[in-house]
Amino acid sequence: MNTMRLTESAVDTDIKITAKDVQVYYGDNHAIKDVSVEIQDKTVTAFIGPSGCGKSTFLRCINRMNDTIDVCRVQGDIKIDGEDIYDKRVDPVQLRAKVGMVFQKPNPFPKSIYDNVAYGPRIHGLAKNKADLDDIVERALRRGAIWNEVKDRLDAPGTGLSGGQQQRLCIARAVATEPEVLLMDEPCSALDPIATAQVEELIDELRKSYSVVIVTHSMQQAARVSQRTAFFHLGNLVEYGETGQIFTNPVDPRTENYITGRIG
Amino acid sequence: MSNPDQTPAVAKTSLLKLDARTRKRNAAETRFKAYGMIAIGMGLLMLVILVFNIVSRGTGAFQQTFVTLEVELVAAKLDKKGNRNLDDIKKVSTFGYAPLLKDAFEAKVAVAGIDTGIKPKQMAAILSKSAAAQMRDFVIANPDMIGETVAFEFLASSRVDGYLKGRVSRDSIANDKKISPEQLDFVDQLVSEGSVTKRFNMSFITGSDASDARPESAGMGVSMIGSLIMMMVVLVLALPIGVAASIYLEEFAPKNWITDIIEVNISNLAAVPSIVFGILGLAVFINYMHLPNSAPLVGGLVLTLMTLPTIIISTRASLKSVPPSIRDAALGVGASKMQSVFHHVLPLAAPGILTGTIIGLAQALGETAPLLLIGMVGFIASNPPDSIAAGLMSPNSAMPAQIYEWAKRADPAFYERAWGGIIILLVFLVSMNTIAVILRRRFERRW
């Protein structure tokens, strides 16, 4: 299966996100050091590494969620489609509409399932009327692979769903605003194996339309869902390449130590 | 030499037999539970004593003694020109009405066959001083009734009222110039005849304060309006200002030494004695801005200052209790900071904000000290205001200030009314707190 993906990913080489010499500081703590990476479009890219290695921090740089943390400073260039997202003219709100995010813990709004998904399109004015909005919600829920489970109870609160359903609802909410990049911060860490399998299947499906970046603690998951993998260690990007190559033939000894379970 | 790796041999003990250590621990636990129960028991006992005292002393104020009397509205005295001209009728003062009461009592004694040694003037003295005014008001409202005989229900004087309630006895009035034992005998005769009765007194709840001469007609109503208008001012000002300030501090403000100082000061302000806010109000609102003395507007402004820290602290606490994941979720789908606050955080924090606001209002409702300084404590026997604007600007009192005013007057009849006023105030406070609890239960959401 991995070999098949290798050939597949060799086809699309469009670069979606380019990061160059990115430094992130939390106060005096230098959390990300000189990270340069090129993330491809229509690809699932996995960030792996031990806890505290900066993979989530780097992920949050891509949609500027780190702006909400007062002590956090970001230096260096991150470009999406050649545009510097840390340019003064860029409004982070607009950026986040383009770069959706799914969080570690399912965090549906304490509102109805419908309102959860409709919120993004509503604030961005994506729907002209109610019927339009209904369509968007249905499409998003179908893409979140949860439509069949909730279509009869769209008015029920989103918080009443099971953990796996909540996470898929959050993914549906993220795709409802038609983003170009989807960031996922350990989306399955709070889920059981069955829900995890459903979400992973969904991620593979989403790859057709988006550039997906996923942070995960599970190396098996990275191997299963991603085409490219980046290994972070102590704030450094140690190795970045085809998933198959990272897991079968790592160049750096630290990568090898990590994937064989000797560090982390 | 012992081997350090080897665990020391422990004497085998039975689980069925408690060792000394366990017994000691259990005893300590039992003692602690007992202390707790004693403390709670003492608290409850005090509460019971308090409630019993308030109820037993205050309920009297809700009842009042009334004297039913048929009075002939003699045309020759009330309308000398006989043309029913309202202006002429108004010229007759309450002194002109007083003789009618004497005549009415004389007639009553004759009809009912009551044998009494006292003079008609003394008979009329068992009525409240407000009786003549009550008659005059009636005549001015119904000039056609002049010449007829009308049955009035007059308030009895506070001594007679106290006699029926058991507060006044023949011994206690030995040196009292306002009433004599013979008058009490006369009251007894009227009671058995049925024209002196005790019943629920609505005007205690709706009426205005009255002078020392007639405690029987004093009521809480106008000061209640004063309190309500102040609460409106507090709600209208403190809620938006407090919520806006808390949202800014909690969600938008950078965390630096300036906001730290502001935060510390807000916490300190919550602990500032209320009289300090009173003198601030006196200096700023009355002396500098020249707002009227004793006006509920000024009282409301002072109480707003006092309530703001409470509202800000509780609002910030409830904003803090909204999980950050909700903010992340909103930002993650591209909501702006403000949208995330107003669409998601604020609705979730609303029950806490409401509860804090109601508790703050309840605190302000019971506050007396700042009102001392802006002149809302004192004898203010004004009529109910005609409009909200008049209510804001015209002198008024407030419920706790009215209670304080009554409690310091010499006549025991006012003392009873002070306890009655406390019952009304407590009813307000308890219902506000109940509303707070219901709102919290109702809108509390889980996530």
State what percent of residues in chain A have pLDDT above 90. 41
pLDDT 10s digits, A149-196: 999 999 999 988 988 899 999 999 999 988 999 999 998 888 888 888
Give the strands of the sheet with B63-72, arranged side by side.
B149-155, B63-72, B196-200
State what percent of residues in chain B have pLDDT above 90. 37
Instruction: Give domain limits for chain B.
Output: 62-200, 221-443
What local confidence, expressed as pLDDT, does residue B6 receive? 66
State what percent of residues in chain A have pLDDT above 70. 94
Greater confidence (B15 vs A39) lies with: A39
Q: Is B169 at the interface with chain A, CB within 8 A?
A: no
- For residue B6, the SS3 value is coil
Q: What is the DSSP string of A21-83?
A: EEEEEETTEEEEEEEEEEEETT-EEEEE-STTSSHHHHHHHHTTGGGGSTTEEEEEEEEETTE
Contact B332 A174 (CB under 8 A): yes
pLDDT 10s digits, A106-119: 999 999 999 999 99
b/e per residue A49-59 (b: at least 16 CB within 10 A): beeebbbbbbb
pLDDT 10s digits, A41-72: 999 999 998 888 888 899 999 989 888 888 88
Nearest residue of chain B to residue A172 (CA atoms):
B333
Q: CATH assignment of A2-108+179-259?
A: 3.40.50.300
* Chain A residues touching B327 at Cβ < 8 A: 68
> Which H or E run includes A124?
helix A113-124
Tokens of A235: 């704030």
| Confidence band for A263, pLDDT divided at 50, 70 and 90 | low
Indicate which of B256, B333, B343, B444 best probes the interface with A, i.e. most A CBs within 10 Å of its own CB.
B333
The mean pLDDT of chain B is: 88
Strand pairing category for A83-84 and A72-80: antiparallel
| Confidence band for A8, pLDDT divided at 50, 70 and 90 | very low
Asked if B294 and B378 count as a contact pair (C-beta separation under 8 A), the reply is: yes
Which has the minimum average pLDDT: A98-107, B6-15, B107-116, B211-220?
A: B6-15
pLDDT 10s digits, B38-77: 999 999 999 999 999 999 988 888 989 999 988 888 888 8
Class of domain B221-443: mainly alpha
Residue ranges of A 203-242 with Cβ closer than 8 A to chain B: none
> Under 8 Å CB-to-CB from A35, ≥6 apart: which residues?
A19, A21, A22, A54, A58, A76, A232, A236, A237
Closest-CA residue to A64 (of A103, A94, A26, A33)? A94
Tokens of B240: 């938006």
Which has the minimum average pLDDT: A35-39, A132-136, B86-90, B442-446?
A: B442-446
* Chain B residues touching A93 at Cβ < 8 A: 334-336
What local confidence, expressed as pLDDT, does residue B447 receive? 46
Q: Is A173 at the interface with chain B, CB within 8 A?
A: yes
Q: How far is CA B16 from the centre of its chain?
A: 61
In terms of phi and psi (left: phi > 0; alpha: psi -120 to 50; beta: otherwise), the region of B305 is alpha
Has residue B388 got a pLDDT over 50? Answer: yes
Instruction: Give domain limits for chain A.
Output: 2-108+179-259
* Chain A residues touching B328 at Cβ < 8 A: 65, 101, 103, 107
What local confidence, expressed as pLDDT, does residue B13 receive? 78
Cα separation of B351 and B342, whole Å? 14
Greater confidence (B124 vs A4) lies with: B124
Quote the minimal CA–CA distance from B284 to chain A in Å.
39
Indicate which of A115, A119, A184 best probes the interface with B, i.e. most B CBs within 10 Å of its own CB.
A119
What local confidence, expressed as pLDDT, does residue B174 receive? 81
Closest-CA residue to B365 (of B285, B303, B279, B445)? B303
Quote the minimal CA–CA distance from B378 to chain A in Å.
52
Asked if A134 and A219 count as a contact pair (C-beta separation under 8 A), the reply is: no
Asked if B431 and B358 count as a contact pair (C-beta separation under 8 A), the reply is: no
Tokens of A35: 């990270």
What local confidence, expressed as pLDDT, does residue B49 receive? 96
Q: Is B350 at the interface with chain A, CB within 8 A?
A: no
Contact A108 B344 (CB under 8 A): no
Instruction: State mean pLDDT over B90-95.
Output: 84
The DSSP 8-state label assigned to residue B7 in this structure reads P
Q: Is B446 at the interface with chain A, CB within 8 A?
A: yes
Tokens 């006549």 correspond to B411
What local confidence, expressed as pLDDT, does residue B445 receive? 62
Q: How far is residue B251 from each of residues B274, B315, B340, measured CA to CA in Å?
A: 29, 12, 10
| Confidence band for A2, pLDDT divided at 50, 70 and 90 | very low
pLDDT 10s digits, B284-332: 999 999 988 888 999 999 999 999 999 999 999 999 999 999 999 999 8
Has residue A262 got a pLDDT over 50? Answer: yes
Q: Is A101 at the interface with chain B, CB within 8 A?
A: yes
pLDDT 10s digits, B241-267: 999 999 999 999 888 899 999 999 999
State what percent of residues in chain B have pLDDT above 70. 97
